[in-house]
Amino acid sequence: MKIGIIGTGWVGASVAISVLHDGTARELLLHDARGAVAEGEAMDLRHGAAFYPTAEVRAVALEEMNDCDAVVIAAGRGGGPGQSRLELLRDNAAVARDLGAKLARARGIVVVVTNPVDVMTQLVVEASGLPPARVLGTGTMLDTARLRQVLGRELQLEPRSIHGQVLGEHGDSEVVVWSGVEIGGQRLRARADWTRDREVALGTEVRPTTRSGWSPPRSCAGCCVASGACSRCRGCRTARGSRASTAWRCPCPRWWARTVRPR
């Protein structure tokens, strides 16, 4: 597959290394408004070629992205302390519209990561004119992954054995559907050791929020980064989770025909 990544900041660079390690990409194209950054990332990834399946990695002009099987949009500004994802709309909407227009001839799918991701996805659809089925947002995939990890830790179980969903718009308004969480076919709420109080406590770890006067729990990665609580590794925590969910979004011939991937 030929995969393109637009934006080589924390998230874009993390997605790049993830798709290389997965063997998803045979050709990986990188683009950034800061051309030297994209060139540097491409060079760095090429130097690690002995540790992942063979792939050609290079920095390219934006126009070349139209020939990719999948294009990941990770360009735009990240959030600051106390700032909601919707407040990023003013700056990132212009980026989404511009990139969407330039991807109007894209032959593959487009995966949007830039926040606020649900709004950005719609803007890319409108600007590109591509069918909505070919422009996907990562949505609440990362939040759902956090839910499974948190429950796995709490119940001492493998996260992949836990099935549940976080629904809605990625951000402050999303909802954990506790009534639908299952473990081995059994409803979580049917467990004798489960209480609604635990849902309230764990929900704060899963749902990012920017409510004023609220201090994020240490394990809420998105809030920790945005609030500056993790100044030592600012920006890296959500990038690692985002890379996994984004790489999983990219169609892979080994899995695509038989894997159900929520929109």
Q: What is the pLDDT along the chain (263 residues), one digit of tens a residue?
A: 999 999 999 899 999 999 999 888 999 999 999 999 999 999 999 999 999 999 999 999 999 999 999 999 999 987 776 666 667 788 899 999 999 999 999 999 999 999 899 999 999 999 999 999 999 998 888 899 999 999 999 999 999 999 999 998 887 789 999 999 999 899 999 999 999 999 999 998 887 654 444 344 444 445 444 444 443 333 444 544 554 556 555 655 444 556 666 55
- The partner residues of 72 in beta bridges, in order of sequence, read 5, 111
Q: What is the pLDDT of residue 140?
A: 87
Domains contained in the chain, CATH given: 2-139+241-249 (3.40.50.720), 141-238 (3.90.110.10)
Q: Verify whether residue 163 is a known catalytic residue.
A: no
pLDDT of res. 169: 86
Single pTM value for the model = 0.81
Helices 236-249 and 141-155: angle between axes, nearest 10 degrees: 110
